[in-house]
Structure 1
Amino acid sequence: MQPDKAIIRIKNLRLRTYIGINPDEVKNKQDVVINVVIEYCDDKARQSDNMDDALNYRTITKRIIPLVEDNRFFLLEKLTQDVLDIASEHPWVERASVEIDKPHALRFADSVSLQLSFERDV
């Protein structure tokens, strides 16, 4: 029988950081919107109802927030990779993806986003 999978979605985490290479981007923090998807086997958590048997999305989010808010990034690729590293570091994580939007990055667009994914080799 195939193990059960859980998908955790952290939706629209709105943070501010220094992101970009233009003079005003280097000088001023900008909004970013972060979406994280994490897939893991949750067999034990479903049976036990014990937090030790589940991935704690609050702990993951509490690690993402200072990473984003307390650092400077030239590239959206680097910021996205750093968030993906946190989302995928637990050994139970089988797949993860992170998409980060940079609102108002282009004059005639709502935002520019970048998405990166991780899949654990089994």
Structure 2
Amino acid sequence: MEYVLETKNINKHFYKPKDFHVLKDISFGVKVGEFASIMGKSGSGKSTLLYILSTMDTEYTGELYLNHELVTGKPHQEFSRIRNKHIGFVFQFHYLLSEFSVLENVMLPAKKLNE
């Protein structure tokens, strides 16, 4: 199958103040051109999963594939390159630089690639 994003048995624990197994054996794939949503109650692990999918959180077990490439276990510098080239973020709160227009803010990652 042509998955652009795939997870295999993702598990995530928070260990403080006590062990909490927040994500348990999460496996799914998103095909090229497909749209997916993550829904659930507050505290169910949606944001935790998104942080893992975005490569911002690397403290988990299981496997994460982006464009058929295993990214789990790569060096942090490689994650920065992957995010800059392949992952877009829409934040719940705005993190725009006030000296730029909205369009200029959105174009900043692309401008960095051309330097």
Give the TM-score band, short-chain normalised.
under 0.3
The TM-score, its normalising length taken from structure 2, stands at: 0.27
Structure richer in helix, relative to its length: 1
The TM-score, its normalising length taken from structure 1, stands at: 0.26
